[in-house]
Amino acid sequence: MVKQIVTGAHYGLKDWLAQRITALVMAVYVIAFAGMLMVCPVQGHEQWRALFSNQFMRVATLIFFLSVFWHAWVGMRDILMDYVKHTGVRLGLEVVVVLILVAYALWAVEILWSL
Amino acid sequence: MITADQRPKYLNLFRIRLPLPGWVSILHRISGFALFIFGGALLYLLQEVLRSPEGYMHVRAITGNWLVKLFLVGLLWSFLHHFFAGVRFLLLDVHVAGDLRATRITSAAVLIVSLVLTAIVGVWLW
């Protein structure tokens, strides 16, 4: 019999795959962003604001941020599973990580859509 | 000569000689953890830059401090190492550069490229 313990995992492919897919999304965004900055440097408040006010940039950036936070969840869960042996403490810390990441996601939406 | 019954009963981290791919791996974990812990600070800086001209000047003032600069260069390294080590892991997933010799070479490349890029971008932005 397989002894199942609370890890926050689904004992499957989903998180592993999500980690890779979000990594690819972030890599594409970061390379495109770095390339864009090298071709036309952005300086000062007005230019940064104009850049992120563009609807395409806004949506692309939100997708990037959501990828970051999902990726961070998988990574932090891995770390907690490796180092925190006590099931209750681990579950508590996982809840804290999820709450922080959900708050970050809402904050990112607020930053981008309040422009 | 260490015989079977003299084997260490526990892992002493300071007596383990980690091979290069091991260094890339543990630094990938540490840099990822650092990025999670300090991600909120980066979001705050983005918010201030975009909020108003005053917010932008506020960020300029905050990042003018050399200690903050040093901290941001540390985060820059965390990002770059995590990025290049991550690309390396993705390539390993699809069986690119997976033999012993190649993994050592790509590990050294990840460590060196992220340090050199951190130095270049760090000096450029300082």
Q: CA-CA distance, B92 to B6, in Å (whole number)? A: 36
**Can you list the domains of chain B with their CATH numbers?**
20-125 (1.20.1300.10)
The full set of domain ranges for chain A reads: 14-113
Determine the pLDDT at residue A58. 96
Residue of chain A whose alpha carbon sits nearest to that of B90: A20
Partners of residue A54 in chain B, C-beta under 8 Å:
none
A69 contact partners, CB below 8 Å, separation of at least 6: A101, A102, A104, A105
Does the distance separating the beta carbons of B52 and A20 come in below 8 Å?
no
- Assess whether pLDDT exceeds 90 at residue B7: no
Partners of residue A44 in chain B, C-beta under 8 Å:
56
- Assess whether pLDDT exceeds 70 at residue B28: yes
Architecture of domain A14-113: Up-down Bundle (1.20)
Determine the pLDDT at residue A12. 59
Partners of residue B55 in chain A, C-beta under 8 Å:
45
The model's pTM is 0.89
Backbone angles phi, psi at B45, to 5 degrees: -60, -40
- Assess whether pLDDT exceeds 70 at residue A6: no
Q: Which among B30, B37, B46 is the top mutation candidate for probing chain A, defined by the most A β-carbons within 10 Å of its own β-carbon?
A: B46
Partners of residue A20 in chain B, C-beta under 8 Å:
90, 93
Residues 100-119 of B with CB under 8 A from A: none
For residue B68, give how far its alpha carbon lies from the nearest alpha carbon of chain A (Å): 20
Q: CA-CA distance, B53 to A45, in Å (whole number)? A: 6
The minimal CB distance from B36 to the residues A44, A45, A72 is found for: A72
In the block, residue with structure tokens 């590990």: B107
CB contact at 8 A, B84 and B110? yes
Determine the pLDDT at residue B13. 76
pLDDT tens digits, one per residue of A46-104: 999 999 999 999 999 999 999 999 999 999 999 999 999 999 999 999 999 999 999 99
pLDDT tens digits, one per residue of B70-113: 999 999 999 999 999 999 999 999 999 989 999 999 999 999 99
The minimal CB distance from A104 to the residues B39, B87, B90 is found for: B39
> What average pLDDT does chain B have?
92
Q: CA-CA distance, A114 to B114, in Å (whole number)? A: 35
- Assess whether pLDDT exceeds 80 at residue B8: no
Does the distance separating the beta carbons of A52 and B56 come in below 8 Å?
no
Cα torsion A91, A94, A99, A105: sign: negative
The arithmetic mean of pLDDT across residues B4-16, rounded, is 72
